[in-house]
Amino acid sequence: MSVKIRLFKVGRKHQGSFRIVAQDTKTKRGGRFLEILGSFNPSELGKKIILKGERINFWLSKGAKPTEAVAKILKSNGRPS
């Protein structure tokens, strides 16, 4: 099973926020996920980002690949991707 760390959209129209999740690559983008790893709200002042660093490192060590958007978020918070 190959795993990606990607954004999962939640919230209302035009006011979306995102969960950062570990998800099997074969499931749909809005489908079932393995674990919630954090959240990202771009509409709040300063773009509120919450990360579970320990769990992100766990999934990265298991071979999970972050998407481009998640890699940018991780890099902006000083985490290697």
Q: What whole-number distance in Å separates Cα of residue 23 and Cα of residue 3?
A: 6
CATH code of the domain occupying 3-76: 3.30.1320.10
Say which residues have a Cβ less than 8 Å from residue 52's Cβ, sequence separation at least 6: 36, 37, 38
| pLDDT per residue rounded down to tens, the chain (81 residues) | 799 999 999 988 888 899 999 999 998 878 899 999 999 999 867 789 999 989 999 999 999 999 999 999 999 888 766
Which pTM was predicted?
A: 0.87
Q: Phi-psi region for residue 76, left (φ > 0), alpha (ψ -120 to 50) or beta?
A: alpha
